[in-house]
């Protein structure tokens, strides 16, 4: 009776585990450096108010590094990769000693026969190598996913902080306008109705600022969850100051696809599985050729999916860049309109309604620019992730 290939693989894995002995693995206990502003799980961040003078900046690169160090899922994938590495190292010396015993047991108990070539040290070693390479590919995939999630959370935090700053600037401008209108009303050059309108606008902006600050706290907490540790209250992200003139997207889509074939973890994993199936098809006759065809089909589908993802990400990044250019132009025009409206009001040829409308338009334009800059950062990361560079 010919043993199924799946059972052969399980026996090979059993041989590797026995050969590895009592080796133990422990993920290294990493402590976040003090300058990052991230607190360790043993010492969570306090909730006391932050001193503006002691505000620290957490760069994006460091946030991604912290996510790789602390994210629980990625730590588990790293542990599994290390286990596979040790099993591969132990395979040539320990596995052949157990295989004949396992073969005799299966023959006596179940009447199963393992092909002789399947219990050689070379075959077991190859299986261990394939298992390790697959674990490496799975780790790289998990790493990309964690980095993508951390980037998304970081950009949302940047956007929330930029929104708070824009709301504070608008509030400060309205407070200045309130003082000017109060003085004008006092000397009779402005109507009390103008003062009422400014006070109403001020109350609305105070409420909007409170909402923006709450969103910033939520975004901060979300990034801490992705990283795996809470962030200290005095930490801030890098300013969201991305300009369209600073961005240069690649023009050659075919070159991006060629690079992805060499770098994407999922394609590497599919290629490893295909090579493993081809090697395994010679060890067991039970469906070996069908398994090889299936692995080849899986690789082909993964390649087609990668091409589609890269194309979509490339087009989305280019569209986001054009949107940011338009939003930046809109900000310039809105700021100029606000400046002229204030001049007209000071000269007595415009009403406060005109100034209020221009101020609201300027704030809306700035919010649009912030959103467009955040979208472009995410699209650029998605393109890098699709190519395999993330």
Residue 287 DSSP label: S
Write down the residue that tokens 């976040």 correspond to: 32
Question: Residue 276 — pLDDT band, cuts 50, 70, 90?
Answer: low
pLDDT confidence of 8, banded at 50, 70, 90?
very low
- Whether the per-residue pLDDT at 142 is higher than 80: the answer is yes
pLDDT in tens, 129-140: 778 888 888 888
Token digits for 325?
């250019």
Question: Average pLDDT of the chain?
Answer: 77
* Nearest-5° Cα angle at 87, 21 to 64: 120
372-390: pLDDT as tens digits: 999 998 898 888 888 887 6
Phi-psi category of residue 111: left, alpha or beta, with phi > 0 → left and psi -120 to 50 → alpha: left
Higher pLDDT pick, 287 / 181: 181
Instruction: Give me the residues paired with residue 183 across strands.
Output: none
Contact of 155 with 127, CB cutoff 8 Å = no
Q: What is the DSSP letter of 58?
A: E
Q: Is 45 helix (H, G, I), strand (E, B) or coil?
A: coil
Q: Looking at 112-116, 182-186, 243-247, 363-367, which range is the least confident one? A: 112-116
Top-confidence residue, 214 or 127: 214
Which pLDDT score is estimated for 296? Answer: 77
Which pLDDT value is given to residue 269? 72
The set of residues, in sequence order, having a beta carbon less than 8 Å from that of 293 and lying 6+ positions away, is none
| pLDDT digit string, tens, across residues 301-334 | 888 888 888 899 999 999 999 999 999 999 999 9
pLDDT mean over 354-358: 89
Read off the pLDDT of each residue in 76-102 and give the average, rounded to a whole number.
71
- Which has more pLDDT, 220 or 299? 220
Percent pLDDT > 70 in the chain is 72
Query: What pLDDT was estimated at residue 108?
Result: 67
**Distance from C-alpha of 57 to C-alpha of 59, rounded to nearest angstrom:** 6
Rg (CA), the chain: 31
Instruction: Find the mean pLDDT for residues 162-166.
Output: 93
Is the pLDDT reported for residue 237 higher than 90? yes
DSSP element (H, E) containing 314: helix 288-346
């Amino acid at each position: 009776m010919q043993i199924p290939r799946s059972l052969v693989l399980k026996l090979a894995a059993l041989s590797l585990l026995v050969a590895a002995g009592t080796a133990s693995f422990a993920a290294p206990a990493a402590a976040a450096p003090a300058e990052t502003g991230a607190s360790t799980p043993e010492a969570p961040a306090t909730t006391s108010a932050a001193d503006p003078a002691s505000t620290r900046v957490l760069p994006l690169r460091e946030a991604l590094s912290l996510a790789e160090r602390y994210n629980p899922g990625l730590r588990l994938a790293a542990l599994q990769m290390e286990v596979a590495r040790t099993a591969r190292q132990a395979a040539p010396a320990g596995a052949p000693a157990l295989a004949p015993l396992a073969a005799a047991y299966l023959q006596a108990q179940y009447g199963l026969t393992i092909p002789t070539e399947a219990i050689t040290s070379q075959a077991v070693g190859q299986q261990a190598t394939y298992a390790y390479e697959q674990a490496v590919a799975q780790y790289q995939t998990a790493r990309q996913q964690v980095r993508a999630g951390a980037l998304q959370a970081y950009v949302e935090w940047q956007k929330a902080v930029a929104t708070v700053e824009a709301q504070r600037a608008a509030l400060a401008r309205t407070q200045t306008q309130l003082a000017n209108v109060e003085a004008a009303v006092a000397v009779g050059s402005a109507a009390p109705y103008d003062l009422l309108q400014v006070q109403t606008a001020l109350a609305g902006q105070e409420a909007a600022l409170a909402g923006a600050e709450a969103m910033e706290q939520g975004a901060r907490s979300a990034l801490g969850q992705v990283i795996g540790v809470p962030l200290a209250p005095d930490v801030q992200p890098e300013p969201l100051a991305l300009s369209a003139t600073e961005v240069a997207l690649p023009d050659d889509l075919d070159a991006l696809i060629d690079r992805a074939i060499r770098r994407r973890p999922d394609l590497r994993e599919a290629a490893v599985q295909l090579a493993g199936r081809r090697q395994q098809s010679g060890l067991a006759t039970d469906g070996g050729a069908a398994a090889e065809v299936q692995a080849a089909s899986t690789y082909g589908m993964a390649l087609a999916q990668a091409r589609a993802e890269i194309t979509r990400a490339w087009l989305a990044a280019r569209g986001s860049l054009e949107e940011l250019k338009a939003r930046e132009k809109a900000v310039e025009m809105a700021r100029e309109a606000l400046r002229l409206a204030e001049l007209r009001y000071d000269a007595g040829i415009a009403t406060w309604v005109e100034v209020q409308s221009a101020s609201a338009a300027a704030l809306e334009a700035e919010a649009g620019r912030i959103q467009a800059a955040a979208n472009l950062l995410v699209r650029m990361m998605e393109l890098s992730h699709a190519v395999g560079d993330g």
